[in-house]
Structure 1
Amino acid sequence: MKMEKLYTFLLFSLLLAVASFQVRSLTLTPSLNDDVLGLIVFKADIQDPTLKLSTWKEDDDTPCNWNGVKCNPRLNRVTELLDGFSLSGRVGRGLLQLKFLRKLSLAKNNLSGTISPSLVNLESLRIIDLSENSVSGFIPDDSFKQCGALKSVYLANNIFSDKIPGTLGSCATLVNIDLSDLGFEWFEVPDEIGSRLLLRSIDFSWNSFSGPVPQTMQKLSLCSYLNLSMNSFSGDFPEWFGEMESLESLDLSVNNFSGQVPDSIGKLKSLKVLNFSANGLIESLPASMENNVDLLALNFSQNLMTGELPGWIFNSENKVGANMDNVNSISLGPSLQKIQVLDLSQNLFSGVLSFDTGALSSLKLLNLSRNSLVGPIPGTIGELTALDVLDLSRNQLNGSIPTEIGGACSLKDLRLNANILNGKIPTSIENCTFLRIISHNKLSSPIPAEIGKLSNLENVDLSFNSLTGTLPKQLANLPHLLSFNISHNNLRGELPAGIFFNTISPTAVSGNPLLCGSAVNKSCPAVLPKPIVLNPNTTADSISGELPPNVGHKRIVLSISALIAIGAAAFIVVGVIAITVLNLRVKSSTSRSAAPLTFSAGEEFSRSPTTDANSGKLVMFSGEPDISTGAHALLNKDCELGRGGFGAVYRTVLQDGRTVAIKKLTVSSLVKSQEEFKREVKKLGKISHPNLVALEGYYWTPSLQLLISEFVSGGSLHKHLHEGSSGNYLSWHDRFRIILGTAKSLAHLHQLNIIHYNIKSSNVLIDGSGEPKLGDFGLARLLPMLDRYVLSSKIQSALGYMAPEFACRTVKITEKCDVYGFGVLVMEVVTGKRPVEYMEDDVVVLCDMVRGALEEGRVEECVDGRLQGKFPVEEAIPVMKLGLICTSQVPSNRPYMGEVIKILELIRCPSEGQEDSG
Structure 2
Amino acid sequence: MLLHDALVSLLFFLAVSFTSADPTFNDDVLGLIVFKSGLDDPLSKLASWNSEDYDPCSWAGCVCDPATNQVTELRLDGFSLSGHIGRGLLRLRSLHTLVLSNNNFTGALNPELTHLGTLQLLDFSGNNLSGRIPDGFFEQCGSLTSVSLARNRLTGPLPVSLSYCSTLTHLNLSSNQLSGRLPRELWLLKSLNSLDLSDNFLQGDLPDGIGGLYDLRRINLSRNWLSGELPSDVGACSSLRWLDLSENYFSGSLPVSMKVLGGSCSFLRVRGNSLVGEIPEWIGELAALETLDLSANNFSGNAPSSLGNLVFLKELNLSTNFLSGEIPQSISNCSSLVSIDVSKNAFTGDVLKWMLFSQSSSRFDLQKRSGNDSFLSNVGFLQGLRILDLSSNRFSGEIPSNIGILTSLVHLNISTNSLFGSVPSGIGGLKLAEILDLSSNLLNGTLPSEIGGAVSLKQLNLQRNQLTGQIPALLSNCSALNTIDLSENKLSGEIPGSIGSLSNLQYIDLSRNNLSGSLPKQVEKLTHLVTFNISHNSITGELPAGGFFNTIPLSAVTGNPSLCGSVVNRSCLSVHPKPIVLNPNSSNPATGPPLGGQIRKSVLSISALIAIGAAAFIAIGVVAVTLLNVHAKSSVSRHDAAAALAMSVGETFSCSPSKDQEFGKLVMFSGEADVFDTSGANALLNKDCELGRGGFGVVYKTSLQDGRPVAVKKLTVSGLIKSQEEFEREMRKLGKLRHRNVVEIKGYYWTQSLQLLIHEFVSGGSLYRHLHGDECVCLTWRERFNIILGIARGLAYLHGSNITHYNLKATNVLIDADTGEAKVSDFGLARLLASALDRCVLSGKVQSALGYTAPEFACRTVKITEKCDVYGFGILVLEVVTGKRPVEYAEDDVMVLCETVREGLEDGRVEECVDGRLRGNFPAEEAIPVIKLGLVCGSQVPSNRPEMEEVVKILELIQCPSQEFE
TM-score relative to the length of structure 2: 0.57
Rate the CA distance shift 1:892–1:664 in 2: closer, same or farther, 3 A: closer
Select 1:237's aligned residue among 263, 279, 288: 279
**What's the offset of the Cα at 1:273?**
2.4
Deviation track 1:39-58 (CA, whole Å, cap 9, x = no partner) reads 979998x9999998899899
Contact 2:492–2:515 (Cα < 8 Å) also in 1:
yes
Contact 2:28–2:56 (Cα < 8 Å) also in 1:
no
Select 1:527's aligned residue among 539, 564, 575: 575
- Within 5 Å, which residues of 2 pair with 1:708-857? 716=809, 724-726=830-832, 727=834, 728=839, 736=867, 739=870, 755-756=881-882, 813-814=922-923
- Alpha-carbon distance between aligned partners in 1 of 2:154 and 2:537, rounded to the nearest angstrom: 57
Q: 2:247 matched to 1:206?
A: yes
Deviation track 1:263-283 (CA, whole Å, cap 9, x = no partner) reads 333233332223332233332
Contact 1:312–1:335 (Cα < 8 Å) also in 2:
no
**What's the offset of the Cα at 1:96?**
1.0
- Aligned AA (1:493): G
- Alpha-carbon distance between aligned partners in 2 of 1:64 and 1:375, rounded to the nearest angstrom: 74
Contact 1:69–1:80 (Cα < 8 Å) also in 2:
no
Q: 2:952 matched to 1:883?
A: yes
Rate the CA distance shift 1:111–1:224 in 2: closer, same or farther, 3 A: farther
- Within 5 Å, which residues of 2 pair with 1:564-575? 564=605
Identity, in percent, stands at: 33
Counterpart of 1:486?
534
- Aligned AA (1:421): L
Select 1:255's aligned residue among 273, 285, 297: 297
Deviates more, 1:502-511 or 1:101-110: 101-110
- Within 5 Å, which residues of 2 pair with 1:34-433? 76-77=71-72, 78=95, 79-112=97-130, 113-114=132-133, 119=138, 122=141, 124-140=143-159, 143-144=162-163, 146-148=165-167, 150=169, 152-169=170-187, 171=189, 173-184=191-202, 185=225, 186-191=227-232, 193-220=234-261, 221-313=263-355, 331=376, 333-433=379-479
Contact 1:823–1:885 (Cα < 8 Å) also in 2:
no
Query: Unmatched 5+ residue regions in structure 2?
Result: 73-94, 203-224, 358-365, 584-602, 613-691, 700-767, 779-806, 813-825, 843-853, 857-862, 903-910
Contact 1:403–1:426 (Cα < 8 Å) also in 2:
yes
- Secondary structure (helix, strand or coil) at the match of 1:351 reads coil
Rate the CA distance shift 1:405–1:721 in 2: closer, same or farther, 3 A: farther
Counterpart of 2:586?
none
- Aligned AA (2:100): L
- Alpha-carbon distance between aligned partners in 1 of 2:12 and 2:867, rounded to the nearest angstrom: 49
Q: Cα RMSD (Å) of the superposition?
A: 5.5
Deviation track 1:462-507 (CA, whole Å, cap 9, x = no partner) reads 0111111111122122222222100011111112344322332221
- Alpha-carbon distance between aligned partners in 1 of 2:140 and 2:173, rounded to the nearest angstrom: 15
**What's the offset of the Cα at 1:154?**
2.3
**What's the offset of the Cα at 1:210?**
3.4
- Alpha-carbon distance between aligned partners in 2 of 1:745 and 1:43, rounded to the nearest angstrom: 48
Contact 2:8–2:34 (Cα < 8 Å) also in 1:
no
Contact 2:874–2:935 (Cα < 8 Å) also in 1:
no
Deviation track 1:796-833 (CA, whole Å, cap 9, x = no partner) reads xxxxxxxxxxxxxxxx7545776899899999999xxx
Contact 2:535–2:560 (Cα < 8 Å) also in 1:
yes
Rate the CA distance shift 1:638–1:299 in 2: closer, same or farther, 3 A: same
Counterpart of 2:503?
455
Q: 2:512 matched to 1:464?
A: yes
**What's the offset of the Cα at 1:250?**
3.0
Rate the CA distance shift 1:224–1:473 in 2: closer, same or farther, 3 A: same
**What's the offset of the Cα at 1:244?**
3.2
Rate the CA distance shift 1:299–1:172 in 2: closer, same or farther, 3 A: farther
Rate the CA distance shift 1:521–1:196 in 2: closer, same or farther, 3 A: same
**What's the offset of the Cα at 1:773?**
8.4
**What's the offset of the Cα at 1:405?**
1.0
Contact 1:121–1:148 (Cα < 8 Å) also in 2:
no
Rate the CA distance shift 1:515–1:122 in 2: closer, same or farther, 3 A: same
- Secondary structure (helix, strand or coil) at the match of 1:528 reads coil
- Secondary structure (helix, strand or coil) at the match of 2:166 reads coil
Deviation track 1:645-704 (CA, whole Å, cap 9, x = no partner) reads xxxxxxxxxxxxxxxx99997648999xxxxxxxxxxxxxxxxxxxxxxxxxxxxxxxxx
- Alpha-carbon distance between aligned partners in 2 of 1:762 and 1:42, rounded to the nearest angstrom: 58
Rate the CA distance shift 1:444–1:363 in 2: closer, same or farther, 3 A: same
- Alpha-carbon distance between aligned partners in 1 of 2:368 and 2:309, rounded to the nearest angstrom: 29
**What's the offset of the Cα at 1:891?**
2.9
Query: Unmatched 5+ residue regions in structure 1?
Result: 25-30, 322-326, 536-561, 572-636, 645-660, 672-713, 788-811, 831-870, 897-918
By relative contact order (CA 8 Å, sep 6+), the higher-ranking structure is 1
Q: 2:536 matched to 1:508?
A: no
- Alpha-carbon distance between aligned partners in 1 of 2:250 and 2:326, rounded to the nearest angstrom: 27
Deviates more, 1:562-571 or 1:276-285: 562-571
- Aligned AA (1:88): T
- Aligned AA (1:101): L
- Secondary structure (helix, strand or coil) at the match of 2:499 reads helix
Deviates more, 1:59-68 or 1:454-463: 59-68
Deviation track 1:29-68 (CA, whole Å, cap 9, x = no partner) reads xx98599869979998x99999988998999978766766
- Alpha-carbon distance between aligned partners in 2 of 1:165 and 1:266, rounded to the nearest angstrom: 39
- Alpha-carbon distance between aligned partners in 1 of 2:46 and 2:431, rounded to the nearest angstrom: 51
- Alpha-carbon distance between aligned partners in 1 of 2:59 and 2:936, rounded to the nearest angstrom: 38
- Alpha-carbon distance between aligned partners in 2 of 1:502 and 1:66, rounded to the nearest angstrom: 60
- Aligned AA (1:210): S
- Alpha-carbon distance between aligned partners in 2 of 1:268 and 1:9, rounded to the nearest angstrom: 63
- Secondary structure (helix, strand or coil) at the match of 1:371 reads coil
- Alpha-carbon distance between aligned partners in 1 of 2:368 and 2:455, rounded to the nearest angstrom: 31
- Alpha-carbon distance between aligned partners in 1 of 2:257 and 2:864, rounded to the nearest angstrom: 44
Aligned residues: 656
**What's the offset of the Cα at 1:100?**
3.7
Contact 1:239–1:262 (Cα < 8 Å) also in 2:
yes
- Alpha-carbon distance between aligned partners in 2 of 1:769 and 1:59, rounded to the nearest angstrom: 71
- Alpha-carbon distance between aligned partners in 1 of 2:286 and 2:568, rounded to the nearest angstrom: 62
- Alpha-carbon distance between aligned partners in 1 of 2:397 and 2:172, rounded to the nearest angstrom: 46
- Secondary structure (helix, strand or coil) at the match of 2:493 reads strand
**What's the offset of the Cα at 1:718?**
6.7
Rate the CA distance shift 1:498–1:110 in 2: closer, same or farther, 3 A: same
- Aligned AA (1:525): L
Rate the CA distance shift 1:260–1:350 in 2: closer, same or farther, 3 A: same
- Within 5 Å, which residues of 2 pair with 1:594-673? 667=774
Contact 1:275–1:298 (Cα < 8 Å) also in 2:
yes
Contact 2:28–2:71 (Cα < 8 Å) also in 1:
no
Rate the CA distance shift 1:643–1:18 in 2: closer, same or farther, 3 A: closer
- Alpha-carbon distance between aligned partners in 2 of 1:364 and 1:66, rounded to the nearest angstrom: 48
